[in-house]
Amino acid sequence: MATERLLVPLSESPTVRQTVAYAVQSGLEPKPETLVCHLVVALPYEADVPGERESLEETKRLLERAVSWVNEDATGVDTDVTCETAVLGKDAYLFGPKDYAETFEAYAAEHDIDRLILDPEYNPGASAPLLQPLERELARTDVSFVEAPLERSVTHERFTGVASWSRFLSLFVVSFGFYLILGDPLYWFDLVTGTAVGLIVAFTLSHVTFSTAPTLRETPGRLLRFTLYVPYLLGEIIRANLQISLVILRPSMPINPTVTTLRARVRSGLPLLGLANSITLTPGTLTVRANDQRLVVHTLIDDAREDLFEGGLERAIRFVFHGRRAAAIPTPKERGDTEILAPGYISGSSQPSAGAGSSNSDPPETTTDGADASDGGDEA
């Protein structure tokens, strides 16, 4: 064998170092003249969104460390070992396992990759470990892959985070403010009990509430934008109430219950939670499931579904967390990130009923003309 080419996707995981070592070892076993290790990091979000530049810098540092690991593991071998690094997804949206599998497949085809080595703890910043869903998606491609069979048991990260004053104070302010909204902010007893409740909540839950510690640089701006978002959300709720009321008052009651998927362009965690709850608060729409930025939403009338597909709430949530520039994106309908599921999705298994067969890349006509949900496709 003249040349062995391996693709190794990297993420900040407890086993990334061992995965690189296994990749080098397995690549040297056929005794090729040249071993080329393609070390890549796939970014799960847009690199131009405010706050993502730091992630890009961390990605570059991870690649530099991985190159040094390869050179260390290849010391003293006869094979010529080289490394190529790349950052994938900077010009695309990578949110679900299918996106990552397609990206790796395209890279493998372009660089004539022999095998892909998967880290058993591969997690590129998604809301949950991505390995098993990613393996299922890779099995549908032409990419040959193997999970690194590490000898030691995998160490999972603890759910708790590092305690900090920023986490403590942020949760105290949120808890205290919410308590006063429910009570009387001018009554001394509510002020005292609100302070006690806020301290108890912050002391017991601050280390598990925030995935990342709030910062003085971003938090004030987000709070200010959130105050602008609240009246917008209230306006959407009032408008949706009027739409539902008009439908109910009509003798024919033209409702059209459907279940749809929306592939939201927001981060997992708090932004996704905010979007899912905003959709549920708006009459006519109900978020059934939220996973890997894919929302399963029940809509009652056609207007509610079309409003969902226009992405007003999605852009507003992006504005809250990332600013005005991040809100300037195409609508979910324009991106092809919407789909009406087949009947039986909720009552049956997690998959639509047989006979459905459309995809996000080529959205079905039912997403634009309001046809019956039985014409829908598979869940993305």
Number of neighbours of residue 346 by Cβ within 10 angstroms: 12
Best CATH choice for the domain 3-147 from the list 3.90.870.10, 3.40.50.1970, 1.10.1740.10, 3.40.50.620: 3.40.50.620
Mind listing the pLDDT tens digit for each residue in 329-348? 888 988 888 888 755 454 43
Q: Tokens 């949110």, residue? A: 95
| Rounded percentage of the chain residues whose pLDDT exceeds 70 | 78
Q: What is the pLDDT of residue 256?
A: 86
Q: What mean pLDDT is predicted for residues 115-140?
A: 78
Task: Using pLDDT thresholds of 50, 70 and 90, give the confidence band for residue 308.
Answer: very high
Contact 326, 319 (CB under 8 A): yes
Q: Tokens 């965690």, residue? A: 269
Contact 84, 110 (CB under 8 A): no
Radius of gyration of the chain measured on its C-alpha atoms: 24
Which pTM does this prediction carry? 0.53
Q: What mean pLDDT is predicted for residues 82-92?
A: 84
Q: Both ends of the chain: CA-CA distance in Å?
A: 40
CA nearest to 5, candidates 80, 97, 60, 59: 80
Q: Which token pair is 134?
A: 């990613």
CA–CA distance, 268 with 170 (Å, rounded to integer): 20
Q: What is the pLDDT of residue 372?
A: 36
Q: How far is CA 220 from the centre of its chain?
A: 24
Mind listing the pLDDT tens digit for each residue in 346-364? 443 334 433 333 334 343 3
Task: Map out the domains of the chain as residue ranges.
Answer: 3-147, 165-209, 219-375
The answer on pLDDT for 124 being more than 80 is no
Which backbone phi and psi does 117 adopt, to 5 degrees?
A: -105, 120
| Rounded percentage of the chain residues whose pLDDT exceeds 90 | 31
Q: What are the beta bridge partners of residue 290?
A: 295
The answer on pLDDT for 239 being more than 90 is yes
Mind listing the pLDDT tens digit for each residue in 189-220? 999 999 999 999 888 887 777 666 677 777 78
The answer on pLDDT for 51 being more than 60 is no
Q: Is pLDDT larger for residue 143 or for residue 133?
A: 143
The answer on pLDDT for 139 being more than 70 is yes
